[in-house]
Structure 1
Amino acid sequence: MAPTCPKYDLEETDPSQFFDGQNITWKRHYIGWGIAGVCALLSTVISFRLLYKHARNYNKPSEQRHIMRIVLMIPIYSVISFFSYRFYKQAIYYETIRDCYEAFVIHSFFVLLLTYLGDDTAAQRARITAGPERLKWVFPFNCFYYNPHGELFLYWMKYGVLQYVVIKPAATIAAVVLQYKGFYCETIYSFAFGKVYITIINFISVTVAMYCMVVFYVTIKTEIEDKSKGLFGADPL
């Protein structure tokens, strides 16, 4: 007999409304909705303020387009988080948009780092080879060394980061399809359903991507020190 996913919260458990025309109902989930909504609104306003400043001073398109894409992640995340909290039964569908954009932002951040190094692969490799020839790997492999001057270093860093750009959206779409067919089962972790496998795939993919991103950043941080201060020290107000 095929396993079946248990069903929870098929019906609304609280028929009351936040405002019924006369009185306000103060319940914990209503308060949570309010706090989430206010936080989403504030983060969206601040983010669009920063986006406006970049658009008004759009004098370095090759860099600023990626910075603006990264900043846009804040309102997308906050709004989708609010909708996922408010309409939790449909959360997996909202999260599809969030997860796909997250992969796009990872790509944008990595390309931004490459752009800081140079406009083409030759210029980027020249900046990397200007640094030390022998560096320690980042924890937990910091007992070993690597050579950033090697022919394949930049290639493997690109591959390690950009595989996530493909795997994350594909895994998210697979999760939506499995959920629709009843084979995902978001409520439990069981190898009889798809959630465990999707989670494992995502975990391995994001771990490899983040590790390669950190290794690459550590390798080039001296070369882009002046750029990184401008990126992370920006005043949104």
Structure 2
Amino acid sequence: MMELVYSPPVWATIIAAAFLLTTITLSVYLLFEHLSAYKNPEEQKFLIGVILMVPCYSIESFVSLVNPSISVDCEILRDCYESFAMYCFGRYLVACLGGEERTLEFMEREGRATFKTPLLHHSSHCGIVNHPFPLKYFLNPWKLGPRFYQIVKFGIVQYMIIKSFTAILAVILEAFGVYCEGEFKVGCG
């Protein structure tokens, strides 16, 4: 039996290559701009980690289009980097507020403040973060402060661990031929 080899349409490959070159060019430009004006390393080192997410996604998408047989492996690498970029973004936000101590002070101040305009429009009031439907029926509102900060930090680390673990699990399942991406069957992972 002859196996069919997938070949994307030429127009799709050309368009994808053009977008790939555009994203890499713009990302490298932005990266060099930050490195040439590296005056605030606490913020910029984490921002660089976030900026590199763009070429990571575009390379993964292009390679998956051109060679779908290795798309799972590329997707796994992208997922691992995505979890790192999420960590970088969280650390970047803390660095922008002046570090952990100043972030906690800011949250405590916001938690005590009684502004007419809430910190998070339609989801908080007087330093309280209300959850959206359906979570509001299971979780109590969170008050801005040290506990909220710990919950957010825990959530980011938990996301990093789970995302990396499931990516590695996908590699193992793919190696045994039971990954079946997007299918919900008893014999598939």
The reply to whether TM is greater than 0.5 is yes
Contact 2:129 2:144 in 1 (8 A): no
Matched AA of 1:157 = V
Shift of 1:156: 1.2
**Aligned partners of 1:89, 1:126: CA distance in 2, in Å?**
50
What per-residue deviation string (whole Å, max 9, x for no partner) do you get for residues 15-59 of structure 1?
xxxxxxxxxxxxx72111111111011111011111111011000
Check 1:84–1:137 CA distance in 2 against 1; reply closer, same or farther (3 A cut): same
Check 1:105–1:187 CA distance in 2 against 1; reply closer, same or farther (3 A cut): closer
Matched AA of 2:143 = N
Matches within 5 A, 1:59-78: 59-78=39-58
Counterpart in 2 of 1:184?
179
Shift of 1:142: 6.1
Q: TM-score, normalised by structure 1?
A: 0.66
Q: What RMSD, in angstroms, separates the aligned Cα atoms of the two structures?
A: 2.1
**Aligned partners of 1:41, 1:13: CA distance in 2, in Å?**
23
Shift of 1:122: 3.0
Counterpart in 1 of 2:154?
159
Q: How many residues are aligned here?
A: 171
Counterpart in 2 of 1:197?
none
Contact 1:136 1:142 in 2 (8 A): no
| 1:11 and 2:7 are equivalent in the alignment | no
Question: Aligned to 1:132, what secondary structure does the other structure show?
Answer: helix
**Aligned partners of 1:63, 1:84: CA distance in 2, in Å?**
33
| 1:174 and 2:169 are equivalent in the alignment | yes
Write out the 4+ residue segments of structure 1 that deviate beyond 4 Å after TM superposition. 141-144
**Alignment gaps of 5+ in structure 1:** 1-8, 15-27, 195-237
Matched AA of 1:53 = E
Counterpart in 2 of 1:147?
143
**Alignment gaps of 5+ in structure 2:** 113-126
Q: Give aligned-pair identity as a percent.
A: 27
Higher relative contact order (CA 8 A, sep 6+): 1
Check 1:13–1:146 CA distance in 2 against 1; reply closer, same or farther (3 A cut): closer
Shift of 1:165: 0.7
**Aligned partners of 1:118, 1:48: CA distance in 2, in Å?**
27
